[in-house]
Amino acid sequence: MSTLSIERADDPMAPTASDHSSGRRRRPRYGTHLFLIVMAVIWLIPLLWGFYTALRPQQSTIKHGYLSFAGPFNFKNFTDAWSQGGFATSFKNSAIITIPSVLLTLILASMVAFAVSRFNWKFNVTLLILFTAGNLLPPQILAAPLFQLFKHTPLPLSVSDSGDLLNTYFGVIAANTAFQLGFCTFVLSNYMKALPTDLTEAALVDGASAWRQYAQIIMPLCRPALAALGTLEVIWVYNDYFWALLLVSRGDRLPITTAINNLQGQFVSNDNLIAAGAIITVIPTLIVYLVLQRQFIAGLTLGASKG
């Protein structure tokens, strides 16, 4: 399967790859290819192994051994894992947490970024350091006080059945948003700084307010950066394990990334079911990966382009 896809996806690349180097003849690099193919296969093994294991009933793997090629192959583990593992709930929780977190992060970060990059304030650098450093800290450092803060934040029972911020989506959204703010602020402020000053100068002459400059001039220009960051943040928040682990103890409130670990306890010594659960969890990421890979990579490299 892997060799097939390598060859197929190779085709569109072929013309650009050979025509590019100004007519100079390149000798074929067999060594490089051999190395890359071996490494690529090794890199694929964990996921393919998971998928392969998930396709096989446990009885069959136990009878023949996990490392065997005996059938039958079917999707029963997937359907079993889905129904027994409460995946529908976990996915819903992931969506409820991820979408608002990413939107909030982008909105809040773009506001700070706009203010510090387009205007000269005394505390611009201080603010950016505050945000960027906050994002680089290991989250475990602030775990205990944040937990206590949320525990002692009273909420009406109509909003939170625990009466505080623990075990609520708000709590996880707030933690994710606060933690991701720094990175997005950093990236967006660099991006906005690179936009020509003339743009807002002209708007100022026309009497546009600061808010209009932000909403109607700068933000539309930031669309590529926002798309890239948005993709990146969706993956990062979806992939976040720690905040929900810390702030949510109710199983039916856990997002999928945190809930998946509980399956290990639930599906004890049924590696086939665990594998199926793991693969189900990967699917949304893989879809984003296939559709928005360019955006994701752009987001990563945007963050690294200034050092």
Partner 1 sequence: MASTTSAGSDTTPGRRRHTPRLTKRDKTVLFVMVAIPTLIELVLIWLPTLASVALSFTRWDGIKLNDIKPAGIQNYNYVVNTYTPFWPAVQHNVEWLLALAIIATPFGLLLAVLLDQQIKGSRIYQSIFFTPVMLSLALVGIIWRLIYDRDYGLLNGVLGTAGHSNATDWLGDSKINIWAAIVAASWKHAGYVMILYLAGLKGIDPSLKEAASLDGASAWQSFWRVVFPSMRPINIVIVVITLIEALRAFDIVWVINKGQNGLELLSALIVRNLIGEGQDIGVGSAIAVVLMIVSLVPIVWYLSRVFRKGADL
Q: Which of residues 105-144 bind partner 1 (CB under 8 A)?
A: 108-109, 111-112, 114-116, 118-121, 124-125, 127-134, 136-144
The answer to whether residue 257 forms part of the interface with partner 1 (CB under 8 A) is yes
CA 219 to chain centre: 22
Least distance in Å: CB of 275 to partner 1?
6
Window 267 to 296, contacts with partner 1 (CB under 8 A)? 271, 274-275, 278, 281-282, 285-286, 288-289, 293, 296
Please give the size of the binding site for partner 1, defined by CB under 8 A.
119
Phi and psi for 167 in degrees, rounded to 5? 60, 20
- Pick one of 201, 224, 251, 291: the residue that binds partner 1 (CB under 8 A): 201
Q: Which amino acid is at 241?
A: Y
* Number of residues that this document lists for the chain: 307
The answer to whether residue 307 forms part of the interface with partner 1 (CB under 8 A) is yes
The answer to whether residue 261 forms part of the interface with partner 1 (CB under 8 A) is yes
Q: How far apart are CA 231 and CA 125, in angstroms?
A: 27
In angstroms, what CA-CA distances link 185 with 69, 214, 236? 51, 14, 16
Least distance in Å: CB of 158 to partner 1?
24
The answer to whether residue 96 forms part of the interface with partner 1 (CB under 8 A) is no
Q: Which amino acid is at 283?
A: I
Residue 73 or 121: the one with the smaller Cβ distance to partner 1 is: 121
- Pick one of 89, 162, 239, 266: the residue that binds partner 1 (CB under 8 A): 239
CA 273 to chain centre: 24
Comparing C-alpha atoms, which of 125, 165, 120, 135 is closest to residue 147?
A: 165
Window 161 to 200, contacts with partner 1 (CB under 8 A)? 174-175, 177-179, 181-182, 185, 193, 196-198, 200
Residue 160 or 186: the one with the smaller Cβ distance to partner 1 is: 186
What is 112-133 written as a DSSP string?
A: HHHHHHHS--TTHHHHHHHHHH
